[in-house]
Amino acid sequence: MSDVDKIISSKLLKGRSLWQDGLRRLWKRKLAMICFAVILIYFLLAGFIYAAELFHWHVGPIQWQEEVGRQYESPSWKNVFGTDIFGQSVLRKMLYGAKISITVALCASIISIVIGVPLGAISGYFRGVTDEIIVWVYSTLSSIPYILLILAFAVVLRDKALFGYKLTGITTVYLAIGLTSWVGICRLIRGEVIKHKNREYVMAAQSYGCSNSRIIFRHLLPNVFHLVIIDFSLRFVSFIHAEVILSFLGLGEATRPSWGAMINDARIELSRGVWWQMAAATAAIFFISLALNIFGDALRDSLDPKLRIQ
Amino acid sequence: MANTNGYLLKVNDLKTWFPVKKGLMRKTVGYVRAVNGVSFAIKAGQTLGLVGESGCGKTTVARSIVRLVPATAGEVIFEDTDVLSAEKKRLRQIRKDISIIFQDPYGSLNPRMTVGDIIGEPLKVQKGIRGSELTEQVAMLLSKVGLAPEYINRYPHEFSGGQRQRIGVARALALRPKLVICDEPVSALDVSIQSQILNLLKDLQDEFGLTYLFIAHDLAVVEFFCDVVAVMYMGRIVEQADSQELYHNPLHPYTKALMSAIPEVDPKLRGKRQRLSGEVPSIMNPPPGCPFHPRCPLTEGVCKTVEQKLEEINGKGHLVACWKSREH
Amino acid sequence: MGDNGKLLSVENISTHFFTEDGVAQAVQDVSFSIKNGKTFALVGESGCGKSVTALSIMRLIAGPQGKIVSGKIVFDEKNLLELKEKQMRNIRGNKIAMIFQEPMTSLNPVYTVGNQIVEAIRLHQKKPMERAWADTVEMLHKVGIPDPDRRVSEYPHQMSGGMRQRVMIAMAVSCQPKLLIADEPTTALDVTIQAQILDLLDKLQEQNGMSILLITHDLGVVAERADDVAVMYASRIVEVAESKVLFEGPLHPYTQGLLRSLPRLGISAKRLQTIAGTVPDPLHFPTGCKFHPRCPIGNSDKRCQSIEPGLRQVCDGRCVACWYAPGYETEQEKKNTN
């Protein structure tokens, strides 16, 4: 039986890729898995709300506008987090806010990855003039204070139309955040690509005639991609916070409840002794941030190939 | 198809200098002369060894030949074409005929690709082979290098250093090259694995009719493996001869010192100790004249000012770059 | 000083690493002793456990993953494994010093060379700064660094590999240790520099009367520089002998195979002899004798496959761990097999 026949007929010995290895190690970390469950809950909640809005289900969070009690009712069994100035359920608003925050953070992440990763890869691989230009661009961009930059973008983008879509509150928020936050991932990818470029496996690929694009996409990016994942999970937190701040400053979503808007309202309410809206929003932000931070660290420890025992 | 005189590869006065840039305006203040005028030729089916210590430029020679590193001057004639001035299309064709085996078994394989992908990629990229035909060829290559074809879906980190090096050899053979450049292929391996890989390379040479350029720092390995040996120091070849002739009759003081520095297991075979003083000088500021003169026990006036050229000694193809050794 | 001129006695040391994938028994039941003023070589290929043995002697095994699980290390009539960490720190760098393979990563890149040696001196000896600096310059001179007054304020990256190794040696011998552990001190260096460094170690040994534990995979270095040799394979010692005696007639099939597979200058051959197979994974050692899968005798022998041969003395000063080594089997065992 020839070798090929052996391969086709026999059970091929399965390999265990570095990804599988990393995920297996991640799975063993109980705390990280709990945090992942928490993150999943938030995402599922956001997804659920999207679906509910799409299919017009009449469930709690969708009906956040409904008056469920008098103004400023304190927390009770009926309304677990009390009511706000309009008598609306704070709990429902808090749940709805998850949709806003997750959407913003996810879209901003995608934008910054889509811009940052290719620029970083091109910059790191080709070096020379291309590199100098890209580095100059992001150095300048990152020297401007983050908040000012986001504010500027948000103000400029407001009420403008992009490809025929009117830019509503949320869209300006995540566009602004995404367009300013790609610098971090770009730097990271650039650094790693520069390191890997001189590895012998890249030289080997060049030596048998691989094109540059094949080397970047087939060889370099898969080896730096784990950093994108780690960066994504850690940066997600900062995007949620950015949305909160923008909403707090009145630049974000104006018509629908978001955690930032709730905190903004709470500013005045606190002086009246109404603490429950602040508490609800803060709690919501706190738990997702904590879960993402712990999970992000665990991801880094598990996915870093250097931390394997050779 | 070798060119005239039966030489598959002819390197003429190859120079590879790396500019050193300093200051705000990135001005070029000097050059690292990694390869400073190297010439040699390899006949089809032969093995030429390039030996020397770290920093002598041997790896840079290998990389300059296939243009992984841009050469500064000189010619590399492979089968009637000058590789250094070939245009992209021709270069791509030449890259089918020359392949490299690298030193580091851990760094020379992409950790995120399966072994099958690693060995098969040259075939995919250059010949567009896919599917079951690709699997067939990869399986055949795996068994040629002594690995079970069932491992085709495994990843590099699941293999030992010696096995990874075998994978590197299989990859180098995928396109049926004519010339294989072995860049220190066994330096990072354990002694008991070294001999396995060296035997394998020899067998493959017989089977496929390969020509080798073998780069190493271990003179004993080079003596066993190569037909002709060239000794490099600071970017230049200082001595070149047939393997046996070099061992029995080393002429250049550096070659002699190199041989006597090698620790020998059999006390009866230990020669007289010849200790070199000092360190290898900085490659950015090579000393004038013969680059070896500051450490040479035989230095005399002219050594400090006149660069020594490689010249033939005794008609047996033995070349030395040292006027003193030609004196006897 | 121990009894019989023994400076260090390692007795049945086992060091294990507890990893996610299982227990790696890096060192198992290792015993040997080093005499005063002599060079003892621990030789073996990568993964055999020789570096871990050295780190175990220095108690530098990183817990909680790594642990010395059993055995004694007797130095100066004390068991090093029973000392408190504070007492151990007093011994490290002072009575037992270590130099490593990669001088670039063993030296701190942000301190000058002089600073690092002075620190080593002042940690163990109560000397005023001036004296310590003077000693440092003298040390650099002793280890053969030209222009020591100038070099003393250089940083590691300004020096070549050979120089950095000399600096490491200067640091290590600055307190006149009784034992110097050299873990592959010349593997990363060129062969001409290697010879210089080994000469230097010889010279210092003569001057200070210190013992050297030389860890290496290079048999040639061992043959030229060591008085006694222990060969390690897959976490165990398989053969111990005086250096001369070992190379004239090795008893263990692994040692024999190693020597045969070396390409030797001046001995032309068409093919090299090899040892078939590869070194076993420490997480999955074979049963019985760890070398049996690769052994021309052992791979088909039932006893080698199931019972591990311990290290036994077969004649004066020679120990082997192989059922078929001459003089190994006791009378009883011979009767049992026949």
Instruction: Quickly count: other Cβ atoms within 10 Å of residue B283's Cβ.
Output: 18
Interchain contact C158–A (C-beta under 8 A): no
Residue A108 corresponds to which tokens in the numbers above? Answer: 């901003």
| B114 neighbourhood in chain A, CB within 8 Å | 15, 17
Residue C315 corresponds to which tokens in the numbers above? Answer: 């004649």
Interchain contact A28–C (C-beta under 8 A): yes
CA distances to B9, B65, B66, B232 from B69, rounded to whole Å, are 18, 8, 8, 19
| Cβ within 8 Å, pair B265-C45 | no
CA distances to B232, C144, C199 from B275, rounded to whole Å, are 18, 14, 10
Interchain contact B190–C (C-beta under 8 A): yes
Residue C153, classed as helix, strand or coil, is coil
List subunits contacting chain A, requiring 3 or more Cβ pairs under 8 Å.
B, C
pLDDT-derived band at A162 (thresholds 50, 70, 90) equals low
Binding-face residues of B in 233-252 toward A, CB within 8 A: none
- In angstroms, the CA A35 to CA A23 distance is 15
| B70 neighbourhood in chain A, CB within 8 Å | none
For tokens 């000097």, name the residue.
B30
For tokens 């190199």, name the residue.
B258
State the alpha helices, DSSP H only, in chain C: 50-57, 85-91, 103-106, 113-124, 129-142, 148-151, 161-173, 191-208, 219-225, 243-248, 253-261, 302-306, 331-337
Burial C36-73 (b: 16+ CB within 10 A, else e): bbbbbbbbbbebbbbbbbbbbbbbebeeeebbbeebeb
Q: What is the pLDDT of residue A269?
A: 83
Interchain contact B178–A (C-beta under 8 A): no
Option in A14, A200, A208 nearest B108 (CB): A200
Highest mean pLDDT among A94-103, A173-182, B56-65: B56-65
Interchain contact B149–A (C-beta under 8 A): yes
Residue A269 corresponds to which tokens in the numbers above? Answer: 């309410």
Contact status, residue B296 vs residue B253, Cβ threshold 8 Å: yes
Option in C46, C162, C264 nearest B220 (CB): C264
Q: What residues are paired with A243 via a beta bridge?
A: none
Provide ipTM, 2 decimals: 0.87
For tokens 């040292």, name the residue.
B322
DSSP of A133-200: HHHHHHHHHHHS-HHHHHHHHHHHHTT-EETTEE--HHHHHHHHHHHHHHHHHHHHHHHHHHHHHTSH
| Cβ within 8 Å, pair A13-B150 | yes
Model pTM?
0.86
Binding-face residues of B in 33-92 toward C, CB within 8 A: 53-54
CA distance C284 to chain A (A): 14
| pLDDT at residue B1 greater than cutoff 50 | no
| pLDDT at residue A167 greater than cutoff 80 | no
Average pLDDT over residues B134-153: 91
At residue A105's C-alpha, the angle toward residues A100 and A108, to 5°, is 120
Option in B95, B107, B132 nearest A200 (CB): B107
List subunits contacting chain B, requiring 3 or more Cβ pairs under 8 Å.
A, C
Q: What is the pLDDT of residue A309?
A: 44
Q: Return phi, psi of residue C216, to 5°.
A: -160, 165
Interchain contact C261–A (C-beta under 8 A): no
Interchain contact B121–C (C-beta under 8 A): no
- In angstroms, the CA C200 to CA C194 distance is 10
In single-letter form, the type of residue at position A171 comes to: T
CA distance C333 to chain B (A): 32
Q: What is the pLDDT of residue B181?
A: 96
- Top pLDDT among A33 and C335 is at A33
Option in A6, A10, A13 nearest B154 (CB): A13
Chain C: residue nearest A26 by CA? C20
Q: What is the pLDDT of residue B272?
A: 64
Residues C226-248 pLDDT 10s: 999 999 999 999 999 999 999 99
- The β-bridge relationship of strands B47-51 and B211-216 is parallel
Residues C176-233 pLDDT 10s: 899 999 999 988 888 888 888 999 999 999 998 999 999 999 898 999 899 999 999 9
Chain B: residue nearest C249 by CA? B266
For tokens 């990229």, name the residue.
B125
Percent of chain B whose pLDDT exceeds 90 = 54
- In angstroms, the CA B104 to CA B119 distance is 16
Q: Return phi, psi of residue C285, to 5°.
A: -75, 150
Option in A3, A21, A205 nearest B149 (CB): A3
- In angstroms, the CA B30 to CA B27 distance is 9
CA distance A233 to chain B (A): 22
Instruction: Quickly count: other Cβ atoms within 10 Å of residue C217's Cβ.
Output: 18
Residues B193-243 pLDDT 10s: 899 999 999 999 999 999 999 999 888 899 889 999 999 999 999 999 999
Length reported for chain B: 328
End-to-end CA distance of chain B: 41
At residue B7's C-alpha, the angle toward residues B4 and B8, to 5°, is 115
Option in B121, B135, B151 nearest A4 (CB): B135
Residue C271, classed as helix, strand or coil, is coil
> What's the sign of the alpha-carbon dihedral C269, C280, C43, B216?
positive
| Cβ within 8 Å, pair B192-C163 | no
pLDDT-derived band at C2 (thresholds 50, 70, 90) equals very low
| pLDDT at residue A310 greater than cutoff 50 | no
In single-letter form, the type of residue at position C69 comes to: V
- In angstroms, the CA C9 to CA C31 distance is 8
- In angstroms, the CA B286 to CA B305 distance is 12
For tokens 């001369």, name the residue.
C244
